[in-house]
Amino acid sequence: MSDEFDKEAEREKLREKLEKDEEKRQETQRMSELLLQGATMTNEHCENCGDPLFRDGDETFCPTCGGERATEQPTEQAPQQSSGQPQQQPAEQQPAEQQAPQPSDAEPARSESERGTGAPTPDRFDVSRPDPASGAPPAADDPRAELRRAVTTTARKANEASDPRTAKEWLEASKEAAEALEALGE
């Protein structure tokens, strides 16, 4: 009999767990729907249930507590409006921060661009470096071929670049190599 009692207790625990899991799924589904509808999940959490707060337009609310939180929120928002503006600025900065990785990616890309400016130059130097390394006669014999390779290599790198600034730097290097090639009469 104790085995049946234990089985029944386990079943009850499993039912409760399933109910909680179902509630969590429904809450997650509500949050997903809010995100799909354009609401923004804030970095703040509900004081009642601990779930993240959402912002839709000027209204900040908890999707789990529903109207109760929305009712409490406007009274809390009045004092927060003065602090809410700085809070909105971080929220506005969040997209800027999302864009900030792009500028910070662009900043390393600027570094890469500087490297890109430097990189085509080392390629050109690399083009000239093998010549002195291989000896003066091969450098004098084949500068046009080296410039053609430099044009091709830098154009290829411009095509493969993921950052527009880097691509622009590679294209400028390719153009310079092409102009040098043209100056040599080819």
Average pLDDT, the chain: 68
What is the model's pLDDT at position 5?
Answer: 66
pTM, whole model, 2 decimals? 0.31
Interval 146-153 mean pLDDT: 86
Neighbours of 149 (CB within 10 A): 14
What is the model's pLDDT at position 17?
Answer: 92
Interval 115-126 mean pLDDT: 42
What is the model's pLDDT at position 69?
Answer: 39
Which residue range(s) make up the domain with 44? 2-99
What is the model's pLDDT at position 19?
Answer: 92
94 and 129 in a single domain? The answer is no
Interval 17-31 mean pLDDT: 88
End-to-end, the C-alpha distance of the chain in Å comes to 99
160 and 74 in a single domain? The answer is no
72 and 147 in a single domain? The answer is no
Tally of structural domains, the chain: 2
79 and 125 in a single domain? The answer is no
Asked if 120 and 169 count as a contact pair (C-beta separation under 8 A), the reply is yes
Phi, psi of 61 (to 5 degrees): -150, 165
Distances (CA, A) of 44 to 25, 32, 166: 21, 17, 38
CA distance 166 to 111: 9
Q: Which of 83, 99, 115 is the last residue of a domain?
A: 99
Distances (CA, A) of 103 to 93, 118, 160, 161, 166: 13, 20, 20, 16, 13
The fraction of the chain above a pLDDT of 90, given in percent, is 4
Location of structure tokens 């207790």: 9
Q: Which of 99, 117, 151 is the last residue of a domain?
A: 99
Helix (H) / strand (E) containing 55: strand 52-56
Residue 138 pLDDT > 70:
no
Q: Which of 99, 116, 143 is the last residue of a domain?
A: 99
Provide the H-helix boundaries in 100-142: 101-118, 120-128, 130-134, 136-141
23 and 94 in a single domain? The answer is yes
150 and 93 in a single domain? The answer is no
142 and 81 in a single domain? The answer is no
Express each pLDDT in 44-69 by its tens digit: 888 888 888 888 888 888 888 774 43
